[in-house]
Structure 1
């Protein structure tokens, strides 16, 4: 109830376009008529695995906040960088 149907549909469509989820989207008159999420993709699982640790997620948000707003793909890149840095891999 916090988000409108349109906001949820928009987010699902964008996540599917970015390759984070597998979704079924049926369009009528250039508007989404039916939207259903099937599952996460490998990329979606990888992102969630990367930010699962609260320390990694906190540092990821801290880095992202310096810019103001970033895309989900950029958050994924930042999270990977945070993990790489913590492992001492350059």
Structure 2
């Protein structure tokens, strides 16, 4: 699968990883497969797809992350980044 990723054959990465996930029963064994899928998505510029898969994997590991961001949080982060840039 890694060879296909490195060659840019992302369709093969998807096919192989989907097939492999059907045969894996231990969550720890799925992680390298998911990592390859996420890297493939990133390489193709499919950031949202990679992020969604990342959140799904984290959830399967019992890690819940909020996908909701308040306007207040966005404003604070924007101000914080502006301060760092101007310094």
Name whichever structure is richer in strand by fraction. Answer: 1
The answer, yes or no, to whether TM exceeds 0.5 is no
Kindly name which structure, 1 or 2, has the bigger radius of gyration based on alpha carbons.
2
Name whichever structure is richer in helix by fraction. Answer: 2
